[in-house]
Amino acid sequence: MGKYRKLGKTSPQRKALLRNQTTALLLNGKIVTTEARAKEVRKMVEPLVAMAVREMDHYDTVKKTVKVARKDADGKRIKEVVDGKRVAVYDEQEREVKKDRPSRLHAKRQMRKILYPVTDVPAEGKGRKRNTKKIDLVDKLFDEYAPKYADRQGGYTRIIKIGPRKGDAAMEVVLEMV
């Protein structure tokens, strides 16, 4: 008996498919896929969430003094003329920053090996490029999923059968975070 399903794909294709579906599941909370794929994606997602729960509180808060550009009411930087050049004006602020301990940093790097980087592009035509933002799924795992599942001992995903797919009669399922 094999340790994993081959899903009718070569190794690089299979790994890319599973990474893609894992990323989509953690981003959206649920995906619709075949039963075999869902069972394989579940094997990838469960350890990621368990790692996030285990390393959730392993950080130190550090106070840092940071330079921040002064902005006007429109959100544009205020500039002054110094020696004939226009230079942005900066203020110093004190902020609390999370500094990861080595175990949490290692966990984040392990997660980034599996998850693809995600860019959210708005659907509207105007201002799409300007309003594009990057979503950090690793932070989402630590900030949203880890506190939610802190008291749970595994079983972070649920598979619900929908029925056979019309084209090839493969069993379709909804894979969702519990």
State the pTM of this model. Answer: 0.85
Quick one: 134 exposed, middle or buried, by C-beta within 10 A (0-12, 13-18, 19+)?
exposed
Indicate the domain borders of the chain.
11-58+101-177, 60-99
Percent of the chain whose pLDDT exceeds 70 = 99
Report, as an integer, the average pLDDT of 18-44.
Answer: 98
Instruction: Give the contacts of 168 (CB within 8 A, at least 6 positions apart).
Output: none
**109 close to 116: Cβ distance less than 8 angstroms:** no
CA atoms within 13 A on the CB side of 135: 16
Q: Which CATH superfamily is domain 11-58+101-177 in?
A: Ribosomal protein L17 (3.90.1030.10)
Q: Give the contacts of 19 (CB within 8 A, at least 6 positions apart).
A: 44, 114, 115, 116
Each residue's pLDDT tens digit, 49-103? 999 999 999 999 999 999 999 999 888 899 999 889 999 999 999 999 999 999 9
Residue 126: phi, psi to the nearest 5?
-85, 130
